[in-house]
């Protein structure tokens, strides 16, 4: 079963290194775990994804799949989106060793584009219980392109954009 969780934070466009997507790396927090006994552990198939060009207003979705590669059951304790434009859904059941879980990111690109495209870079933080890996940051990028004839971000900011005239 999947449930929807949403964070109401700022939705500014930020940058993360394209190597994150090309090399499939992400920020992983692994503090000392004080739990006695065996623990689960997570291994994601991918932690970064590139949607490519997306039309402004389009809803796009990617599912990040992970496997419990540890020796005990684990669960997702919290999932937080960087921005209200991203809605995460995730597995709520306990994930036994060898079994998989999912985190699905749905990105609403509405009003996030420009005529030449604006690169949107977003993240979702996933926290785990009873796992050696306690937190993983999942990232994605989308180049959002507004319809022809729309005002560029530069024009909105009072600059001169030769191609918009």
Residue 122 pLDDT: 98
- Rounded to whole angstroms, the Cα distance separating 6 from 91 reads 15
Residue 36 pLDDT: 75
Residue 62 pLDDT: 99
Residue 66 pLDDT: 99
Q: Which residues of the chain have pLDDT under 50?
A: 1-10, 12-27, 32, 152-155, 159-165
CATH number of the domain at 112, please.
2.60.40.10
pLDDT tens per residue, range 133-164: 999 999 999 999 998 766 544 445 554 444 33
H or E, element range at 51: strand 48-55
Residue 34 pLDDT: 59
Range of the domain at 134: 2-31+38-164
Structural domains of the chain, count: 1
Q: What's the pTM? A: 0.73
């Amino acid at each position: 079963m999947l449930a929807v969780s949403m964070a109401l934070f700022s939705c500014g466009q930020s940058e993360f290194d394209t190597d994150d997507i090309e090399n499939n790396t992400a920020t992983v927090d692994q503090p000392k775990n004080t739990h006695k006994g065996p623990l689960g552990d997570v291994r994601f198939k991918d932690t970064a994804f590139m949607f490519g060009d997306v039309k402004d207003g389009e809803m796009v979705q990617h599912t990040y799949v992970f496997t419990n590669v540890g020796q005990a059951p684990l669960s997702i304790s919290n999932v937080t989106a960087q921005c209200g434009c991203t809605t995460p859904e995730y597995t709520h059941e306990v994930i036994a060793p060898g079994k998989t879980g999912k985190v699905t990111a749905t990105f609403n690109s509405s009003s996030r584009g420009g005529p030449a495209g604006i690169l949107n870079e977003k993240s979702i933080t996933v926290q785990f219980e009873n796992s050696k890996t306690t937190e993983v940051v999942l990232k994605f990028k989308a180049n959002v392109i507004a319809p022809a004839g729309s005002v560029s971000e530069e024009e909105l900011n009072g600059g001169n954009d030769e191609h918009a005239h």
